[in-house]
Amino acid sequence: MTLNALWFILIGVLFTGFFLLEGFDYGVGILLPFLGKKDEERRIIINTIGPVWDANEVWLLTAGGAMFAAFPNWYATLFSGFYLALLLMLAALIVRGVAFEFRSKDKHPAWRALWDWCIFGGSFVPALLWGVALANIVRGVPINGDMQYVGGFLYLLNPYALLGGLVAVAVMTLHGAIFLSLRTTDEMQERAHKAAQYAWPVATLLLFALVVATYFATDIFKRLGVNPGISAIGAGIAILLAGWFLRRRQHGWAFGMTSLTIALTIVTVFRGLFPRVMVSSLNPEWSLTIFNASSTPYTLKVMTIVALIFVPIVLVYQGWNYYVFRARISGKSPLKY
């Protein structure tokens, strides 16, 4: 295995971790205005993710940093071509972060309602745009022979990409509802369970529709045959099992299945792209690959040494963080947010 391939895999792992953790994070934010009827209930919902939401976003920063260092041409083409969409996402994330910190600064209902809806928007918009972005990367975008994106913003809003955005929102909402079922008690737990039951058929139908659309709109299944198909089928089976466990009220297993659905979906995307990192819809030979988009071998070697030292430390720390804040949240819990 070359260092180019190794770093492609590592970036895939980082994005998988990001979507697994930030997926339920976004889902909780999307559900906040609808499941929390009173201020105390909304505080309970927010405090389920309060200790971890900012750490979850570090996975994205790490993935972006790894992309910048290991594959600078991929980073440059992606961030320049998707500039407006990523700027909108950044603005939503900034508003979301501010909302978490500001909502409890004043007890006035209008003040808190404003920030609650900012948390909703700051969760919904990134979830939607991430789905749109991944779908466009898989489908292909107009990249010329100089590795420059030559399309406009509206090109990214094609039907296939919008379907990908809806799938991301639906699956993350389901993921977040099941997470709330695990982290809350009594009436709030029951509301989260019902929300998950409503979200499951929507997420399942949209996901299967995306798989079918991917077969016709992209080449990832045709290029690699059964290899990416195994992970896609696994994602479908996992989300079906999530519904089965939900009916049995086995929320831990249901959460594991939605986590597996998200992980296998990202595996399908990266496995289907390899060795490409961005597909050119103008000419397949103009696609960015792990070879023509990468840094020098020396850079990759130094990065590998640094990653071997610090990645295990980060994983241990985040695991410890989740362990410390593992208790269910109720009205009797100390509520920071």
228 pLDDT above the threshold of 70: no
φ/ψ of 276, rounded to 5, equals -80, 155
pLDDT band of residue 223 (cuts 50, 70, 90) is low
- Strands (E) located in the chain: 276-278, 288-289
* Joined tokens for residue 119: 């948390």
pLDDT in tens, 144-199: 999 999 988 888 999 999 999 999 999 999 999 999 999 999 899 999 999 999 99
| Domain definitions of the chain by residue range | 3-324
* Joined tokens for residue 212: 């079918």
| Percent of the chain topping pLDDT 90 | 74
Using an 8 Å Cβ cutoff, are 328 and 185 in contact?
yes
Interhelix angle 159-183/226-247, nearest 10 degrees: 40
Rounded Cα distance between 259 and 242, Å, is 10
Coil, strand or helix at 289: strand
206 pLDDT above the threshold of 80: yes
The mean of the pLDDT values for the chain is: 91
229 pLDDT above the threshold of 90: no
State the pLDDT at residue 225: 60
Using an 8 Å Cβ cutoff, are 275 and 291 in contact?
yes
| pLDDT (mean) for 226-245 | 85
| Type of residue found at 219 | D
* Alpha helix positions (H), 184-248: 186-217, 220-224, 226-247
State the pLDDT at residue 224: 61
pLDDT in tens, 43-78: 999 999 988 888 888 898 899 999 999 999 999 999
State the pLDDT at residue 99: 93
Judge if pTM exceeds 0.75: yes
Point out the least confidently predicted range of 48-52, 125-129, 248-252, 331-335: 331-335
Rounded Cα distance between 315 and 308, Å, is 12
State the pLDDT at residue 219: 86
| pLDDT (mean) for 230-237 | 88
pLDDT in tens, 297-322: 999 999 999 888 888 888 888 888 88
Instruction: Give the CA diameter of the chain.
Output: 61
266 pLDDT above the threshold of 90: yes
pLDDT in tens, 92-144: 999 999 999 899 888 899 999 999 999 999 999 999 999 999 999 999 999 99
The b-or-e profile of 74-100 (16+ CB within 10 A means b, else e) is bbbbbeebbeebbebbeebbebbbebb
| Percent of the chain topping pLDDT 70 | 96
